[in-house]
Structure 1
Amino acid sequence: MRTPKGTSNGSAEPESRDPSERSMPYGVYLSAAGAQAQNHRLQQISHNLANVDTPGFKPSQTILQARFSELIEEGMVPPGLGGADDIGGGVTIQPEQTQFGVGAIRTTGRETDFALHDKKSFFVLQRGDEQLLTRAGDFMFDSTGTMVNSGGDPVLGKGGRPIQIDPRRPFTVGSEGTITQAGETQQLMLAQPASYGDLANVGGNLFRPLAEFSLVPDSDRNVVAGSLEQSAVSPTGTMMEMIETSRAYEANIQMIKNQDSVLGSLIGRVLQS
């Protein structure tokens, strides 16, 4: 039986040109692919847990997909014959998917903390020449009077420019995300992508829009000052997922050891006969 050929994500052993290497047990390759997939899943779960206290963080989910054996993938054997090729070719790692569940809203008492009380709106930040979206409203004014997030990225107002005040003068924060100083009122820009599929995670709680987004109408703005959306990671559920994944990883490693032991025993018997 032929072993699974390599995939772009390295989920299986690369196809060898040496015929002698093709005789390696098929199950070893399947177990190795499974171990690698579970290891990748463990890394993603660890990343989610590391951001359990990051405001507005959205966890990512690892997607694993079963693959056909090499002969079926190449069209040399049709699927469903009930032969050894229907055992499958292990698993491949697919692009991760972000889970856009809404985190718990916590009252902070800081007037420049903002929370969005809807599922689809995002704050808009400026980083270099591009705009980024976030659900994290932990904002502040820097020494120049520019409103920034915890990473120092300027927060955009409804007109598309960074929110700016005179840091030497008092200001007030109103409902629906408004900043008023000396009679001038500025509103936070709120974006609403057509779908979550239009967003690419660029790290932490920031997303890059892949398509044009709409601005939230004044009638639909639902911003509350003095509050902050927490991470959407469930510590208990994620820890249970980590335990489950660790056991699956260990099971695949043990399968590799068992198959190696069986193969070594078989070779020993052949040499003794």
Structure 2
Amino acid sequence: MDRLVYIASATAARLETAQAVAANNLANASTVGFKADLMASRAALLRGDGFASRLYAPVTGLGMDHGAGAVQNTGRALDVAIEGAGALAVQANDGAEAYTRAGNLRVSAGGLLETANGLPVLGDGGPLLIPPHQSLHIGKDGTVTVVPDGQGPEALVTVGRIKLVNPPPDSLVKGADGTLRMPDGAPLPADAAVTLAAGALESSNVSAVGAMVQMIETSRQYELQVRLMQTAERADQASARLLSVGG
């Protein structure tokens, strides 16, 4: 019976992880630019002393769904959406270069162009500093221009150009802060072919209905594993009673 208990308990542990992944996806169904997390696991023999007769379910990979979310027009000057493949370059909290498709940008009190969660947006020479202005425009190629305070529309000033990159989607990994990075942490070169749609945002690619269905299915599978462990316990108790009677 210990084999049944071990398999059921190992499976239940993995289902708990799968439930946490589904719950996180559902919680981010309305997060701009969010990419759904994916988890893969498989059955494997437990190696050790003696014959390998016990199975467990190790996690073989944590990835993400690289599919694009729907693009929604907002009309806001600081909202941008990546057209097709690509990403915005930002400076992560650890100082490293990271990437995101969340284009709901803002200008900080200090004048830095940053993401909604406070990460500086990178240009060709580092974080983009926006001077005091009365209007701001982000071009299709990522060029940021402003009309300075007290100036007319003819006094258009180019502040810089947002660094846009286009790595192979499968080469990126998601960090704990939600940004995308290269596995080795190396920065990517800018790609002039990547373009932006101004006044628009890419929504999360999470299907709220799909995530909810996954949570329900995972919960039912977990309950099944618990019932298997309970069945094994009852069978073990019945065997013990038979042995005591026979003795």
1:54 aligns to 2:26 (yes or no): no
- Output one character per residue of 1:240-261: Cα deviation in whole Å (capped at 9) or x when no partner: 1111111111101100000101
Provide the aligned C-alpha RMSD in A. 2.1
- What is the distance in 1 between the residues matched to 2:190 and 2:72? 25
1:36 aligns to 2:10 (yes or no): no
Which letter does structure 2 place at the counterpart of 1:216? D
1:206 maps to what in 2?
Answer: 179
Shifted more, 106-115 versus 125-134: the winner is 125-134
1:172 maps to what in 2?
Answer: 137
1:216 maps to what in 2?
Answer: 191
- What is the distance in 1 between the residues matched to 2:177 and 2:33? 9
Cα shift at 1:68:
2.5
- Structure 1 pair 70/145, CA: closer, same or farther in 2 (3 Å)? closer
Of 65, 74, 78, the match for 1:108: 74
1:155 maps to what in 2?
Answer: 121
2:156 maps to what in 1?
Answer: 183
Q: Which consecutive residues of structure 1, in runs of 5 or more, have no partner in the other structure?
A: 1-23, 78-84
Cα shift at 1:138:
0.6
Partner secondary structure for residue 96 of structure 1: strand
The answer to whether the 8 Å contact 2:111/2:129 transfers is yes
- Structure 1 pair 152/212, CA: closer, same or farther in 2 (3 Å)? closer
Of 166, 174, 180, the match for 1:192: 166
Which letter does structure 1 place at the counterpart of 2:239? L
- What is the distance in 2 between the residues matched to 1:144 and 1:165? 9
**TM-score, normalised on structure 2?**
0.87
1:244 aligns to 2:193 (yes or no): no
Q: Which consecutive residues of structure 2, in runs of 5 or more, have no partner in the other structure?
A: 147-154
- What is the distance in 1 between the residues matched to 2:140 and 2:7? 57
Partner secondary structure for residue 122 of structure 2: coil
Of 76, 95, 108, the match for 1:129: 95
Cα shift at 1:51:
0.7
- Output one character per residue of 1:99-131: Cα deviation in whole Å (capped at 9) or x when no partner: 111011111111110000112x11011134211
Which letter does structure 1 place at the counterpart of 2:140? S
1:99 aligns to 2:65 (yes or no): yes
Partner secondary structure for residue 175 of structure 2: strand
The answer to whether the 8 Å contact 1:143/1:167 transfers is no
Partner secondary structure for residue 203 of structure 1: coil
- Structure 1 pair 264/105, CA: closer, same or farther in 2 (3 Å)? same
Cα shift at 1:176:
3.0
- Output one character per residue of 1:151-176: Cα deviation in whole Å (capped at 9) or x when no partner: 1111112x132222222443333333
The answer to whether the 8 Å contact 2:63/2:174 transfers is no
The answer to whether the 8 Å contact 1:57/1:204 transfers is no
Partner secondary structure for residue 170 of structure 1: strand
Partner secondary structure for residue 135 of structure 2: coil
1:265 aligns to 2:238 (yes or no): yes
Partner secondary structure for residue 257 of structure 1: helix
Of 192, 204, 215, the match for 1:231: 204
